[in-house]
Chain A
Amino acid sequence: MAILEIRHVSKFFGGLAANSDVSFDVPEGTVVGLIGPNGAGKTTLFNCITGYYPPSKGEIVFNGRRMNGLKPDKVCKLGMVRTWQKVRPLTNLSVLDNVMVGALCRTNSVNEARGIALGQLRIVRLQNKTNLLAGTLPIGERKRLEVARVLATKPKLLLLDEVMGGLNPAESEEIIQLILDTRREGITQMVIEHDMKAIMRLSDRIVVLNSGEKLAEGSPKEIIENSAVIEAYLGAEQ
């Protein structure tokens, strides 16, 4: 069963096609990697899926429901939530408050939200930093905070936009474990990542975008061996 279906989605900014005719499915319970060179339209696609931009053409179907034109808050309530490539902590709020804001998406009780938030912070191992201001955290912890915050909204589908960008290998490893644990809990994930080693390990399937178009789709092994993908990343052999 596909939890998310992208059907012929195009997004134009003026005459520039950031995405053109992209179609693929995200099967429930899997991790789908979304890769491509810079400017391939990965983040634009995320923005279209989560309601920040309406797609110019095509359809986005989540859980059997057409999502076109829904605002991000509605999208989140329906169970699809994204993180940001450039992390967006609520700087002047405490780490705990940050995650509580996510939890309040599903509950009206501040106390219940606090409970959920503390649980999520334990999972991302920030339980000792709950009272610090989010703005004071180093980048690795900010990324984990961001993951805790979106997990607190109890999503069915998580869209992670370069959660490993700018992290050292040890920090990346923590995020990888976090993604695998989340997958084990049955939360579907779509991951944009530049770290090829990580994405190959994580993904059940990989979709490659290039210049806004879908270049290839398949298992990690198929992608590594795909000549078009190699060409897009490394250039053609003379």
Chain B
Amino acid sequence: MMILIFISVIMGSSWNILGGFTGQYSVGHAAYFGVGAYTTMVLLQFKQVAPWIGIWAGAGAALVTALVIGSICFRLRGPYFVLASIAVAEIFRVSALNLKNLTNGAEGVLVTEIPPLMIGETMVTDWVSKVPFYYTSLAFALLIILVTWLVRISKLGYLFLAIREDQDAAHSLGINLTAYKNTALSISAVFTSLAGSVYAVYVGFIDPSTVLALDLSVQIVMICIIGGIGTILGPVIGALVLVPLSEALRSNLITDALIKAGIVNEESPVGAFLKEHLAHAHVLIYGILVVVVILFMPEGVLGFIKKLGARKAKAA
């Protein structure tokens, strides 16, 4: 599960550079996730290119995709940009479904063998255990946090924030909107594709309805909303909250916990009902929780904690 958390951190943080700093809410980041995942997997499975090379090919593909999409979509503002980003991601999903020669269509791509990573004669890893994935995803997660921090304190960060706050004012102060929006999108897309590639090789199977789905795009945005948009650590917190939460709901850990705590009796009708049905309703509960968070912590968990801190400071 830590691997999934790290991958979520990468996705959330890269979205945050575009959405949180530059204020361009893309709800189509699955496109870049999918481009990365597909490039890596197709190269690996059909061309026998090792994933640690394919992953960079995926990043390159995502960069090109981002520049093309950005040049077109950044002509639009606000809600129109959001809609365009959704449309673009859907185009990618439908294309992946139909370009059967390249992507295997709806059947997806299954990796049968990953070549072991060798440095010289020594084998670093054979990718059988989860350990190498753990460190790879951790390394990328730390890298994106570092990049986010560097962006935030640099000139780039100031210009991004200015664009977020007021595009016209930023424009009048000498900021080339299209160029800087594209820069933000490029950074964002490259890291999202890295997340996609790591995910794909880790799980070993991808298909359009998982790595190019609208659900995924929304989930990426969710990580940031829950954690706190536009903050460096927000996406980290978002991932730490959301991934375990969705896993717990899916495997019905809540009912187990309630039963163990003695609040609900397993034999009672309530307990039996929960045990039977709660897991099926995990999306529903997940949705309700998200709504609650948005209602009561509009600035995310991080913003909420800050506010609590400020209130305490005031009281003291």
B87 within 8 A of A: no
User: Which residues of the partner chain A approach B170 to less than 8 Å between Cβ atoms?
Assistant: 90, 101
What is the CB-to-nearest-CB distance from A54 to chain B, in angstroms, rounded to a whole number?
Answer: 15
What is the CB-to-nearest-CB distance from A4 to chain B, in angstroms, rounded to a whole number?
Answer: 16
Q: Which of A76, A89, A91, A113 contacts B172 (CB 8 A)?
A: A76
B315 within 8 A of A: no
> In the complex where A72-B171, A110-B153 touch, is A101 in contact with B162 (Cβ < 8 A)?
yes
Q: In the bound complex, do residue A73 and residue B177 qualify as a contact, i.e. CB atoms below 8 Å apart? A: yes
User: Which residues of the partner chain B approach A113 to less than 8 Å between Cβ atoms?
Assistant: 155, 158
A202 to B139, CA, bound (A): 61
> In the complex where A91-B165, A92-B165, A104-B158 touch, is A71 in contact with B173 (Cβ < 8 A)?
no
User: Which residues of the partner chain A approach B176 to less than 8 Å between Cβ atoms?
Assistant: 71, 73-74
A81 within 8 A of B: yes
> In the complex where A73-B177, A76-B173, A153-B173 touch, is A93 in contact with B155 (Cβ < 8 A)?
no
User: Which residues of the partner chain B approach A102 to less than 8 Å between Cβ atoms?
Assistant: 173-174
What is the CB-to-nearest-CB distance from A233 to chain B, in angstroms, rounded to a whole number?
Answer: 30
A113 to B161, CA, bound (A): 15
User: Which residues of the partner chain B approach A104 to less than 8 Å between Cβ atoms?
Assistant: 155, 158-159
User: Which residues of the partner chain A approach B173 to less than 8 Å between Cβ atoms?
Assistant: 73, 76, 81, 101-102, 105, 149-150, 153
Query: For chains A and B in complex, what number of residue pairs have CB atoms within 8 angstroms?
Result: 74
- Closest B residue to A83 using CB positions: B172
A97 within 8 A of B: yes
B76 within 8 A of A: no
A100 within 8 A of B: yes
> In the complex where A100-B158, A101-B158 touch, is A77 in contact with B174 (Cβ < 8 A)?
yes
> In the complex where A88-B166, A90-B166, A90-B169 touch, is A105 in contact with B158 (Cβ < 8 A)?
no
- Among A73, A77, A109, the most chain B Cβ lie within 10 Å of the Cβ of A73
Q: In the bound complex, do residue A97 and residue B171 qualify as a contact, i.e. CB atoms below 8 Å apart? A: no
What interface size band does chain A fall in?
A: 20 to 34
- Give a binary string over B165-205; 1 marks a CB under 8 Å from any A CB, 0 the rest: 11011111111110000000000000000000000000000
Residues from 109 to 161 in A contacting B, C-beta threshold 8 Å:
109-110, 113, 149-150, 153
A211 to B173, CA, bound (A): 30
Q: Which of B153, B162, B172 contacts A93 (CB 8 A)?
A: B162
User: Which residues of the partner chain A approach B175 to less than 8 Å between Cβ atoms?
Assistant: 73, 101, 105
- Closest A residue to B175 using CB positions: A73
- Closest B residue to A108 using CB positions: B155
A210 within 8 A of B: no
A87 to B169, CA, bound (A): 9
What is the CB-to-nearest-CB distance from B258 to chain A, in angstroms, rounded to a whole number?
Answer: 41
A109 to B156, CA, bound (A): 10
A71 to B176, CA, bound (A): 8
- A–B complex contacts, Cβ < 8 Å, 26 sampled: A50-B172, A71-B171, A71-B176, A73-B172, A73-B173, A73-B175, A73-B176, A74-B176, A76-B172, A81-B173, A81-B174, A84-B172, A89-B169, A90-B161, A90-B169, A93-B165, A100-B158, A101-B158, A104-B155, A104-B158, A104-B159, A105-B174, A110-B153, A110-B154, A110-B158, A153-B173
Given contacts A72-B168, A90-B161, A93-B162, 11 further A-B pairs with CB under 8 A are A73-B172, A73-B175, A77-B174, A84-B169, A84-B172, A89-B166, A93-B165, A97-B161, A101-B173, A102-B173, A153-B174
